[in-house]
Amino acid sequence: MSRSLLTILLALACLATVTGVAAAAPVTGTVSVDNGTAEGDQVTVTPLNGNFERAGQPVTTAVENGSYRAADVTDAPLYAVELDHNGLRHYAVVQEPTADFELSAGLSARLARPDGTPVANATVTVTSPNGPSVAQLQTGPDGALALDQLQPNRTYRLNARLDGAPYRYVLRTGENATDARLTVRPPTADEAVLTATGGNPASHIVQPIQNGSTTRVVETIRLQNAGNQPFRGPIHVGLPDSATVQSVSIEGQRLQYRRTADGLAVNASLSSGSTIRTSVQYTLADGTVSKSVRHETDSLAVVLQGLDPAAVNHSSNLRLRNASGMPVPMLTSADALAPGDGISVTLPGAGGTDQSSGSMPQFPAGPLVAGLLAVVVVGIAAYRTV
């Protein structure tokens, strides 16, 4: 081999390493259908990276003789496989380049109000555990709905919006998905059904950021509807007296709000058992975050990014948490907080004197907030054909 050819090959190898070029590989699997056939069904394979983001172009193929083979799929840690069968969409997220589908189960249910009155002509969306829609259908005059050729021992969510309120039900084929009665209870506006729970590292996170004489704060609260009926009404968030609100959002969507005597209120709706993430951004006239919580809260954290924890004064119901492995120090609530319980944190330099050192992050601190507000880290092992 000539020196020039060897040089070119080495350069191409280095380029492939630097740019992450991955070899193409086939993704294969089988499809079986009770009392039917999958012949000609479309299968779409999308490569994903470890963050479940697309890592290459989707490849589409068809089922032939009970199996499929999607060629030239970018090699990736994960593969999202979608099967389209008779208007229903089935999904799998797998590590190995193979996913088998068995369509042998069904579900049947009836929507009715507490007094037994059927809910007719209601639009119901059936989704997989991973979120994508499997099908959309309407209830009959008797409130009934049914689907067949679903996957056995799989959890399906049924979502509907009735009279402006969201409803969600969970059925699992082979367990409670036959002749299920789905009760449509009237919505409530009682905030007592909402609890701040299930967050990581906390369900209610307060992140103050000092930049010169300006103190900016991002508050994020993960609220769950723990009641057996939908919630529809205003959600209240307590704020310091000197707070000037910049924006309010729910699940990333900015919404209108109104100021109240001790904070703000924003309209929201949650189905029974569901969660939402409310985020409030505001500035303070001083460096003190003193406020009450408005919902039962299992854990609250105050992030001390770029601050000297020893120079931060705080209320006795908060304690410093600076264990090894934590990205930044933070204050956390010693116990659960009840509605009306207050917290207080006075930052160094409160009153307008800038005692911070080094360059401070700009508001909002996106990468840190995104990392700290991850509510559920789903293990790859939890992803199976759904």
**Segment 43-54 mean pLDDT:** 95
The pLDDT-based confidence of 22 (bands split at 50, 70, 90) is: low
Q: How many Å from the N-terminal Cα to the C-terminal Cα in the chain?
A: 52
Per-residue pLDDT, 322: 66
Peptide bond into 339 cis (omega under 30): no
Per-residue pLDDT, 326: 64
pLDDT at residue 5 is higher than 80 = no
Q: What is the pLDDT of residues 263-274, one digit of tens each?
A: 999 999 999 999
Least confident of 87-101, 165-179, 263-277, 354-368: 354-368
Percent of the chain with pLDDT over 70: 83
Per-residue pLDDT, 305: 86
**Segment 186-199 mean pLDDT:** 96
**Segment 88-94 mean pLDDT:** 95
Q: Rounded CA gap, 377 and 18, in Å?
A: 29
Q: Rounded CA gap, 340 and 291, in Å?
A: 9
Q: In which residue are the tokens 């401070």 written?
A: 360
Per-residue pLDDT, 167: 97
Q: Which is higher by pLDDT, 367 or 181? A: 181
- For residue 84 the two structure tokens come to 């389209």
Per-residue pLDDT, 307: 87
Per-residue pLDDT, 69: 97
358 within 8 A of 326, measured Cβ to Cβ: no
The pLDDT-based confidence of 14 (bands split at 50, 70, 90) is: very low
The pLDDT-based confidence of 118 (bands split at 50, 70, 90) is: very high
Q: Tabulate helix, strand, coil % of the chain (nearest 5).
A: 10, 50, 45
pLDDT at residue 10 is higher than 60 = no
User: What is the signed CA dihedral for 241, 243, 245, 250, rounded to 10 degrees?
Assistant: -70
Per-residue pLDDT, 23: 57
Per-residue pLDDT, 325: 56
- For residue 287 the two structure tokens come to 């460096």
Per-residue pLDDT, 358: 31
pLDDT at residue 29 is higher than 80 = yes
278 Cβ contact partners less than 8 Å away, ≥ 6 residues apart: 220, 221, 223, 235, 237, 248, 249, 250, 266, 268
Average pLDDT taken over every residue of the chain: 85
The whole model's pTM is what? 0.77
Q: How many CB atoms lie within 10 A of CB 381?
A: 7
**Segment 68-78 mean pLDDT:** 96
Per-residue pLDDT, 324: 52
pLDDT at residue 381 is higher than 50 = no
Per-residue pLDDT, 36: 93
Domains observed in the chain: 3-101 (2.60.40.10), 105-183 (2.60.40.1120), 192-372 (2.60.40)
From 386, 296, 381, select the one nearest 335 (Cα to Cα).
296
The pLDDT-based confidence of 20 (bands split at 50, 70, 90) is: very low
Q: How many CB atoms lie within 10 A of CB 291?
A: 21
The pLDDT-based confidence of 374 (bands split at 50, 70, 90) is: very low
Q: What is the pLDDT of residues 288-336, one digit of tens each?
A: 999 999 999 999 999 998 888 889 999 999 999 865 556 789 999 999 9
Q: Rounded CA gap, 240 and 252, in Å?
A: 23
Of 18-32, 125-139, 261-275, the range with the highest mean pLDDT is: 261-275
